[in-house]
Amino acid sequence: MRIAMVSEHADPLGAVGGVDAGGQNVHVAALAAHLASRGHEVTVFTRRDDAAVATRLRAPDGYLVEHVPAGPPSEVPKDELWPFMADFARYLAARWAAERPDVVHAHFWMSGAAATSAAGPLDIPVVQTFHALGTVKRRYQGAHDTSPLARTSVERELCRTVDHVIATCSDEVAELRRAGLPRAKVSVVPCGVDVARFTPAPHPGDGKQRLVVVGRLVERKGVADVVDAMAELPGVELLVVGGPARDSLALDPEVQRLRRRAAAAGSLQRIEFFGRVCHDSLPAVFALADVVVAVPWYEPFGIVPLEAMACGRPVVGSAVGGLLDTILPGVTGELIPARRSDLLAITLRDLLADGRRRAAYGAAGVHRAHQHYRWEQVAAETEDVYTRVVESVSAPAAEALR
Ligand code: UDP
């Protein structure tokens, strides 16, 4: 198949870990790579955010990346990109009129808007993955939500106009159903993990007990709750990976906020903020962990818990979104309610005191990651969705020719 992916803000070749670059970049890169290795011709259309980068280039993994001129060729926060989507859509329409893809897969709501507007007149089927939903963000972030006002209504509209939606977890299906999406129009295909790269490695055996948190440093990731729990975990160390590059950490307002909080609780000297780490180096980070902690307030999917599981580490997570599917409590880790640093501290204290349970959870995590979440499998399931959509769109045309 000739597959066009649209990922307006998340460049699969971009650096990951900053405020707007995380799971979607990793997801699009891995999916494109695995679909390309299955013999498909994949092009990812992403916004040009760097004047120096080539318009079209082939990624080492065999897919093409096309940088779309829409807005200034510099970094722009994703919540300020909406006004440039009309230009983005015009570019896609011209490209697809010249070189028609068999299927378009849009990632995130703005990509969906641009993709449907370009693909509609050309009768190209569109598959949508939201990655995150405006209604959920508004529910949790209220007045702090900086999404454009149009977001929720565009998402509802997409539920009507796209040919199929891929949800990444069961919780998202429930949200989409509430937004009016018919059950027949949604399939669950989770995010994946590269199990060849994320493999179990021995703990350094340095006599330290260490918690590891990995993720973008935004409030809703719940890092402050982990920092608060540290006050109840004497002797335990915490490594926080993510956020800006190491040399600009001190200037980051979220790091400053978390450091102040830790200092007030007397635990700052046991907490290290490391800054962002390239994706290839993360297995070495997980190897340092006795327990990986992921306690977001909400989470559309959460690739980090999966990566930690593949690395054989027990995960203590919050019982939200995709973590409800990935983490099996009492088997691969524990689930606790979000924003409960008191329960987090108790859960972590128990688990840190029980090496056998940690080892059993770690082994079960590896098994689960391999059984359900290998990118090869995720790409094959995604390909199935494309095939069904392409067939259902071409069936009426074939019928008319008879
Ligand atoms: N990540 C990374 N380096 C960092 C921080 C995060 O490579 O310093 C990666 C992480 O390994 C994961 C992704 O970014 O693959 C984050 O995805 P997740 O779904 O956990 O969260 P999101 O960023 O989508 O909210």
Is the domain of 271 the same as that of 154? no
Model confidence band, residue 288 (pLDDT cutoffs 50, 70, 90): very high
Q: Which CA distances in Å does 80 have to 20, 46, 71? A: 12, 15, 10
Please give the pLDDT value at position 14: 87
Name which residue sits closest to atom 17 of ligand 1, judged by CA: 23
Report the separation in Å between the CA atom of 71 and the middle of ligand 1, taken as the mean of its atom positions: 26
CA-275 nearest atom, ligand 1: 8
pLDDT confidence of residue 304? 97
Q: How many domains does the chain have?
A: 2
Same domain, 23 and 159: yes
Domain of residue 342, residue span: 210-372
CA dihedral 146, 88, 34, 298 (to 10 degrees): 10
DSSP summary character for residue 89: H
Residue 217 located in a structural domain: yes
CA 107 and chain centroid, separation: 11
Domain shared by 175 and 120, yes or no: yes
Judged on CB neighbours under 10 Å (0-12, 13-18, 19+), 388 is middle
pLDDT per residue as tens digits for the range 57-112: 999 999 999 999 999 999 999 999 999 999 999 999 999 999 999 999 999 999 99
Here the CATH number for the domain that contains residue 184 is 3.40.50.2000
Q: Is pLDDT at 390 greater than 80 in this prediction?
A: yes
Two structure tokens written together for 294 = 């992921």
Closest residue by Cα to residue 106 from 179, 20, 164: 164
Q: Is the pLDDT of residue 396 over 90?
A: no
Confidence at residue 16, expressed as pLDDT on a 0 to 100 scale: 79
131: pLDDT strictly greater than 70: yes
Rounded to the nearest 10 degrees, what angle do helices 23-37 and 375-401 cross at? Answer: 70
Q: For residue 359, is pLDDT > 70?
A: yes
69 and 184, same domain (yes or no)? yes
* Among 148, 172, 6, 11, CA closest to 83: 148
Three-class SS state of 5: strand
Residue 211 Cβ contacting ligand 1 at under 6 Å: no
Are residue 160 and residue 25 in the same domain, yes or no?
yes
Angle formed by the axes of helices 223-230 and 341-352, nearest 10°: 60
| 244 lies in the same domain as 176 | no
Determine the average pLDDT of the residues in 10-25: 85
- Pick from 19, 246, 279 the residue to mutate for probing ligand 1's pocket: most ligand atoms within 8 Å of its CB: 279
Q: Is the pTM of this model over 0.75?
A: yes
Residues 347 and 228 in one domain: yes
Q: Amino acid letter at 171?
A: D
Please identify, by atom number, the ligand 1 atom nearest to the C-alpha of residue 276: 8
pLDDT tens by residue, 200-240: 999 988 889 999 999 999 999 999 999 999 999 999 999 99
Query: Do 47 and 92 have their domain in common?
Result: yes
Q: Domain for residue 199, yes or no? A: no
